[in-house]
Structure 1
Amino acid sequence: MSLAWPYRCVIFPMISSWKNGSRMRSVRIAEREIDRVTVLGYGRTGRAVVAYLHNHGVKIFVSDSALLTDADRESLKKLGIAFEEGGHTFQAIEDPDLIVLSPGISPEIPILREAQLRSIQGISELDLAYLLTRGASIIAVTGTNGKSTTVKLIEGILLQRGIQAIAAGNIGLPFITLADEPPDVVVLEVSSFQLEQSSIFHAHVSCLLNIAPDHLDRHGSMDNYVAAKLSIFDRQVDDGLAIVSRDIPLSKASIAGWSVYFEDVRLPKNAFADSLSPHNRSNLRAAIACCRGIIPILKPDAIDLPALEGAFHLPYRMQGEPSLGGVRVINDSKSTNAASAIT
């Protein structure tokens, strides 16, 4: 599901003003300069959006449904940015030219319905960052489980081949932080929340690892959750590459461009690859398939797998902890669904 109101906007940086002796860039959208923006949500992504817009001379209003930390309040006050907390009120839509949504914001909340009635445009951080980062190739990875590992593997493999790549998105580094100085390749972890909000974003290489029940409190039903995940392919272009699993009931004929099953990818022939768990072997196959969208002649045996070991042992995923009273403790707090806990 995308935002409730239709919009097809073109956003690009424009030289427009001087501030403190330095030339600043504002944001223009569909040939119209954007001076005032409301940012909904002030978590990690919201803070990154605010930083980008503030650096480009845009007047910002921040609205968060939760209470802000003391540090966040002080930071916003020092920047001269108005804000509200503990709920989204009509103050958030008094006079903005644009509303930017953090990933945790549902497109169905009342304030956005009112914004629609007032003809105020809205855009997700994913769409905004995509339109501001046109110089980079994009690999996007989604799925219920394995996204972070796969994204870090892709980043590592590309770096080994001398390609400037940065992992971003839901993995922790907001996409918009790369807008001013994008790398050669942005490797994005994309969540169902981000995809649900977006109607512009598409990647050069799009990968769907798997689908299992998750986040049904947000999406309302399994059908809606599946639709959000599958939407990563909605705007696939003719020269794009789609990476999918054979386990997902999806006709490759329904996807524009090229598409492959990552299960068909051969793994490196070495003891390290042989020692991987089944789910990490699957993640590695998907990563190699994605990298071939950038390096078509990539040979699996040329990959230095031991150098990528950290990608297979990310924090809070089957992480051993000190025992308690002789009981072994495993920190698997990143598992948000049954399928993740089982694997």
Structure 2
Amino acid sequence: MSRATSPRYQQYRNMPVAVIGLGVTGRACLKFLLDNGARVTGFDRAAIERKDVLAQIAYEDTSSFNLSRLENSSVFDEFELVILSPGVNPSHEAIAPLIGQVKLISDLDLFTRHNKVKCIGVTGSNGKSTVVDMLHKALQACSKTALLGGNFGTCAIDLLDIEADYIILELSSFQLQISQNIPLEIACILNVTEDHIDRHGSFANYALAKQYIFKHAHAAIINRDDAATLPLPSINKNVTVFASVGQSAAANENDFWQDERGVHQRNLCLIEASDLPLPLTHMMLNMQFVLAMLNALHIELAPAIDALISYQGLAHRFEVVLESDNMTFVNDSKATNPGACAAAINCATRLQGNIILIAGGDAKGADVSALKPIIDENVSLTIVYGKDAKLFADLLNNVKSVSNLDEAVDIAIHIAKETADKVLILLSPACSSTDMFANYQARGNAFKQAVMRVAA
């Protein structure tokens, strides 16, 4: 239902605005604009009825909203503002002519126009959801009020007008690619491995999109073991690298490092690996990023260290589902690219020697051949399914193709039962889920249900 316009947002009253893409982000922008008196037209490739869109945002006033077809760029001539959702490719023939125009903005640009809270931005190919979740919990442990949003959690526009010390934004390459201005107190790229090549066209373009996180940042935290995480002077020559993290030796006093014993700064071990539920290499690296960001904010680390030690991880990210007889089942459905899959296999080898990998889905144009050495060395059998199963089947030696995830689980369990050794059955697809599932969460839940069904 329509509400009174906020005095802060009077500029949108009666403004003609287009919202391209009516997924979760687009609908959040739509609601904000309608609540503040804008006249909005929505564009979406799906055939969505107007009443359905409005119902999804609990809005009943249909007088200031229209739904239209995305035909060519001339349809946007009448609008003062055009908001592009991150899921919509800006190379679309109707959108490409708008690139560079002031009126074409992202949902994050809309948010930062009005936001007054200090923001911290995190991106990377792998681990960004875990890091922002860790950081959120660490700030709370330090008695700081923090909001979490962007590509993970709440849409950024829904965080306006909420009092907080900090807003943590997880930022995807899609969001960074189309945003003009995201001011950040601290920005970091965790890592860059091949992903979303179908959208960006090349690895170089994808890595460049990640770099845009530094465009309006004051300070950066980098991974000194990954050169692609260092700010490019051509993006922002004024951003300061406050600290680095990594497995290699630290160079400066603000830097963090790790070894088998744990996480260190200078000569002090801050987190003992033996105190962690799963002392995994990538989890300790994530903790380094969090500690470095807190240091940059001049926040006492002791309460945060306690929060990190007790951190249990996210669902669908190397999540131990069940340990039964000689089998351990791990759900790593969030591994939607080859780099994430490689990290999961490395983790699995530390827990168990005999690994059955379940992989496949939509590879999004990525080159999966980089996985061959690590799979050949560490995985006893790879079971593949989905749109790009053949990429794996043609690449690997010990591989079996199946029609769906349920069949993959059934076969993995059957083989494990015939094995005397302990077996770790790992779902780490290295691919997007969208060929068969709504998202990686649905895929992970389907895996867990299949495991529980067989276990029962």
Q: CA deviation at 1:284?
A: 0.6
Higher radius of gyration, 1 or 2: 2
| Residue pair 2:4, 2:35 contacting (<8 A) in 1 also | no
How many residue pairs match? The answer is 312
| Residue pair 2:197, 2:203 contacting (<8 A) in 1 also | yes
Q: 304, 307, 320: which is aligned to 2:306? A: 304
CA distance in structure 2 between the partners assigned to 1:22 and 1:222 by the alignment? 44
| Residue pair 1:64, 1:88 contacting (<8 A) in 2 also | yes
| More divergent stretch after superposition (315-324 vs 167-176) | 315-324
Matches within 5 A, 1:1-343: 26=9, 28=11, 35-68=15-48, 71-72=52-53, 74-75=55-56, 78-80=60-62, 81-84=65-68, 88-90=70-72, 93=76, 95-115=78-98, 121-133=103-115, 135-236=116-217, 240-249=218-227, 254=233, 255-259=237-241, 260-263=243-246, 264-265=255-256, 266=264, 268-270=270-272, 271-273=274-276, 275-294=278-297, 296-300=298-302, 303-305=305-307, 308-310=310-312, 312=313, 314-321=314-321, 329-343=329-343
CA distance in structure 2 between the partners assigned to 1:53 and 1:163 by the alignment? 30
CA distance in structure 1 between the partners assigned to 2:300 and 2:223 by the alignment? 20
| Residue pair 1:169, 1:190 contacting (<8 A) in 2 also | yes
CA 124–52 in structure 1, closer or farther in 2 if over 3 Å, else same: same
| More divergent stretch after superposition (247-256 vs 197-206) | 247-256
CA distance in structure 1 between the partners assigned to 2:290 and 2:102 by the alignment? 39
CA 153–58 in structure 1, closer or farther in 2 if over 3 Å, else same: same
| More divergent stretch after superposition (296-305 vs 137-146) | 296-305
Q: CA deviation at 1:224?
A: 0.2
Structure 2 counterpart of 1:193, one-letter code: F
Q: CA deviation at 1:298?
A: 2.6
CA 21–55 in structure 1, closer or farther in 2 if over 3 Å, else same: closer
| More divergent stretch after superposition (301-310 vs 99-108) | 301-310
TM-score (norm 1): 0.80
Q: Residues 120-153 of structure 1, C-alpha deviation per residue, up to 9 Å, x if partnerless? A: 82101111111211x1111000000010110011
| Residue pair 1:26, 1:58 contacting (<8 A) in 2 also | no
Q: Which runs of 4+ in 1 moved over 6 A?
A: 19-22, 322-327
Across the aligned residues of Structure 1 and Structure 2, the Cα RMSD in angstroms comes to: 3.1
| Residue pair 1:62, 1:92 contacting (<8 A) in 2 also | no
Q: CA deviation at 1:275?
A: 4.3
Q: CA deviation at 1:226?
A: 0.6
| Residue pair 2:214, 2:239 contacting (<8 A) in 1 also | no
CA 116–130 in structure 1, closer or farther in 2 if over 3 Å, else same: closer
CA distance in structure 2 between the partners assigned to 1:114 and 1:27 by the alignment? 29
Q: CA deviation at 1:209?
A: 0.4
| Residue pair 1:38, 1:92 contacting (<8 A) in 2 also | no
Q: CA deviation at 1:321?
A: 4.2
CA distance in structure 2 between the partners assigned to 1:21 and 1:220 by the alignment? 44
| Residue pair 2:294, 2:301 contacting (<8 A) in 1 also | no
**Which residue in the other structure is 1:4 paired with?**
none
CA distance in structure 2 between the partners assigned to 1:62 and 1:225 by the alignment? 28
Q: Which has the higher contact order (CA 8 A, sep 6+)?
A: 1
CA distance in structure 2 between the partners assigned to 1:74 and 1:216 by the alignment? 35
CA distance in structure 2 between the partners assigned to 1:115 and 1:302 by the alignment? 45
Q: Specify every segment of 5 or more residues in structure 1 that has no aligned partner in the other structure, as ranges.
A: 1-18
Q: Percent identity?
A: 28
CA distance in structure 2 between the partners assigned to 1:125 and 1:298 by the alignment? 33
Q: Residues 55-86 of structure 1, C-alpha deviation per residue, up to 9 Å, x if partnerless? A: 111111111112338843644783312114xx
Structure 2 counterpart of 1:225, one-letter code: Y
Structure 2 counterpart of 1:98, one-letter code: L
